[in-house]
Amino acid sequence: MRLYADRPDRRARQIAADLGLLGWTVGWVLVARVVHRAVLVLADPGRAVEDLGRSIADSMGSAARAAGDVPLVGDDLAGPFTALGRAGDAVAGAGQSTQDAVSTLAAVLTAVLVVLPVGWMLLRWLPWRVRWAREARAADRLLADRSLDAPDLELLAARALATAPLPALARLPAGTGAGWRAGDPAAVRALAGLELRRLGLRLPPGTTVG
């Protein structure tokens, strides 16, 4: 499948558009990475709270075990330490929940910052490139039609007459329209060349009218 035009000016615009899309995508990916890292900084307090809760839970657990070894009153002494250990576990859980929420927020923001702008640009770029590729492929088929002694330029000429801007038609040699109706090969070739120039393609040299 043809990806780029023959004419340097049209090909340069296509390459510039492709590179622009690539640069746009890379730029937003880099922005999303920066935002992701910045949002993850918000998880540091949650991490500190989790560490504090784990530390309290471990300390109170050790104290409860030591108090439990005291004869007769061990269970009574261990009770408050056990309760504080459970409170430490709850604090650690809250810290972990905060980190999970921040991680989710960072992931969502990253996806939004990539999908929305890149998707918007793709919706503008892709139809334009696909439409050109389909038209260029069809023109190539007409120019390379092996079932004819020469390419069928009549269809390209008719397309030019139907869709070409009036200023472009006015620049053609005088009598081109009448010559096309009469089947003049020069007029057909001129109109076909006009349609191919719109696509950024070139009429093969020496092409005769089929």
Q: Where are the alpha helices (DSSP H) in 3-73?
A: 8-40, 43-68
Give me the mean pLDDT over the 120-127 stretch. Answer: 94
DSSP state of 164: S
Structure tokens at 104: 């989710």
Structure tokens at 200: 């950024």
Dist. CA 56–CA 80, nearest whole Å: 13
- Highest average pLDDT, of 74-83, 137-146, 159-168, comes from 159-168
Residue of 79, 94, 82, 40 lying closest to 58 (CA atoms) = 82
What is the distance, to the nearest Å, from the Cα of residue 210 to the centroid of all Cα atoms in its chain?
43
CB distance 88 to 120 below 8 Å? no
- Kind and range of the H or E run holding 136: helix 74-143
Instruction: Report residue 151: phi and psi, to 5°.
Output: -60, 145
pLDDT of 192 higher than 60? yes
pTM of the model: 0.72
Dist. CA 73–CA 77, nearest whole Å: 6
Dist. CA 13–CA 15, nearest whole Å: 6
CB distance 199 to 138 below 8 Å? no
- Summarize pLDDT for 51-110 with one digit per residue, the tens: 887 887 777 777 767 766 667 665 666 677 677 777 777 877 888 888 888 899 999 999
User: 131 versus 161: which is more confidently predicted?
Assistant: 131
